[in-house]
Amino acid sequence: MELIPLLLIILICLALLMGYPVAFTLAGVSILFALICIPFGVFDSAIFKSIPIRIFGIMNNMTLLAVPLFIFMGAVLEKSGIAAKMLENMAAAFRNTKGGLSISIIIVGALLAASTGIVGATVVTMGLMSLPILINQGYERSFSSGLVASTGTLGQIIPPSIALVLLGDVMSTAHTSAQISMREYSQQTVTVGDLFVGAVVPGIMICFGYLIYTIYKNKNNQDIKDYSDEPPIQRIELFKTLALPVFLILLVLGSIFAGIATPTEASAIGAFGALIIALVNGKINLNFLKETSEKTAVVSTMIFTILIGASIFSLIFRGVGGDELINLIFSSIPGGSYTALIFVLFVIFILGFILDFIEICYVIVPLIAPPLLMMGFDPVWLAILFAINLQTSFLTPPFGFSLFYLRGVADESIQTSEIYSGVIPFILIQLLVLLIVLIFPIFIL
């Protein structure tokens, strides 16, 4: 009987490898599989009645309302030209510093991550603006590609992050499920705000890791032409460029950390604030609003369709005995709870080669999180470990989404192998930070 849910997973993987859309594959294959199982008494048809309730629950979830609002905030800031201006002025500020352009890219990437939270948008923006300049100024092609692709993934871990919003919703449900299974009912809940707070220090650690590697990598590179006879940028100009985006980030995160606003309310503040910044920069018009609204609608629809498909898969997976399969796997792992945790992190890392973070977040995490929480792990610590691990999924060849985004905008003279080799040091930095916070939970908690 334990092999039946495993067969469902195999069929879904085969359908995905054939190129069918993820959301429709998750829902469609699961429903067809359940219909086949009904005559054999493996699946109870009454479970189908829960599907409309689950879909309504997703669409009525106030936490998930933050997703389209944060996407809109990022789309407005991206299209208003703020990113280009920030990079231009920050590069000017580091003009006469060895490797100054690469340092400015990491700083601007971190600011963009905290203001957009959308990995694809950041990678494409940085790839179009900074990659040609890096190569023209003498930086190695592989290093330049790896730097841009990796900096773009900071939006995965630095709050406010779409990934953390989705993980917060999943971990809240998993925490409740674990408490019910253990018959322990506490008032403590897991919120998206908790994950935002927990992600701050690991996010800073990854940024510092990038900076240390970048400075070390370029200190002896004689080909870099960062030095210029042009006068340094005036501090007032730099302040004008950074003031509004930084103020918006502090307003959004500060309102959450201080307990004044929920992440959903803060996302609305961020969306409105982004419009104000675009207005100040003279970018607001009917066409601008149309483009940003359309982009928000497309990305939000993609995320919520996958969410619905994953919810249907999860329901049917449990209906055919998936919980027993997961419990069997965990009980078969020798070495106790930490061995099980390391095994799960390894599996998520491997799945990151072929699946997007949304699929992993809503298909895999709901299955593995409750057993781990029942072992006594802190839900916030566990969620941030997952988030850092999922961040590496954007960079792992051959299917890392950041690599695809960068390949799409990079010059044809840059080989795909150079992009792949360039991200490896940055992947190792992320894994090192993952190891540190795994050993020392205090950095998260």
What average pLDDT does the segment 66-70 reach?
A: 86
* Integer Rg of the chain from CA: 22
Confidence of residue 232 (pLDDT cuts 50, 70, 90): low
Q: How do residues 300-350 score in pLDDT, each as one tens digit?
A: 888 888 888 888 988 898 888 887 887 777 777 787 788 889 988 988 888
Whether the Cβ atoms of residue 69 and residue 268 lie closer than 8 Å to each other:
yes
Q: How do residues 101-134 score in pLDDT, each as one tens digit?
A: 888 888 888 887 777 666 666 777 777 777 888 8
User: Concatenated DSSP letters for 131-147?
Assistant: HHHHHHTT--HHHHHHH
Compute φ and ψ for 395, nearest 5 degrees.
-110, -15
Q: How many CB atoms lie within 10 A of CB 422?
A: 24
Q: How do residues 389-435 score in pLDDT, each as one tens digit?
A: 888 877 877 667 778 778 877 777 888 888 888 999 999 999 999 99
Whether the Cβ atoms of residue 190 and residue 379 lie closer than 8 Å to each other:
yes
Closest CA to 156 of 114, 125, 194, 190: 114
Global pTM exceeds 0.85: no
Ranges 96-100, 248-252, 438-442: which has the least confidence: 96-100
What average pLDDT does the segment 183-199 reach?
A: 81
Whether the Cβ atoms of residue 110 and residue 207 lie closer than 8 Å to each other:
yes
Whether the pLDDT of residue 12 is over 70: the answer is yes
Task: Identify the sign of the CA torsion 59, 61, 63, 65.
Answer: positive
- Look-up of token digits 């928000």: 296
Q: Please state, rounded to an integer, the average pLDDT across all residues of the chain.
A: 84
Supply the pLDDT for residue 14.
87
User: What whole-number distance in Å separates Cα of residue 203 and Cα of residue 186?
Assistant: 30
Collapse the DSSP code of 179 into the 3-class scheme (helix H, G, I; strand E, B; otherwise coil) and give the result: helix
Whether the Cβ atoms of residue 122 and residue 155 lie closer than 8 Å to each other:
yes
| For the chain, percent of residues with pLDDT exceeding 70 | 94
Q: How do residues 153-174 score in pLDDT, each as one tens digit?
A: 888 888 888 888 889 888 988 8
User: What whole-number distance in Å separates Cα of residue 363 and Cα of residue 8?
Assistant: 13
User: Concatenated DSSP letters for 181-241?
Assistant: HHT---S----HHHHHHHHHHHHHHHHHHHHHHHHHHHTT-TT-----SSPPPPHHHHHHH
Whether the pLDDT of residue 369 is over 80: the answer is yes
What average pLDDT does the segment 93-100 reach?
A: 76
What average pLDDT does the segment 212-222 reach?
A: 84
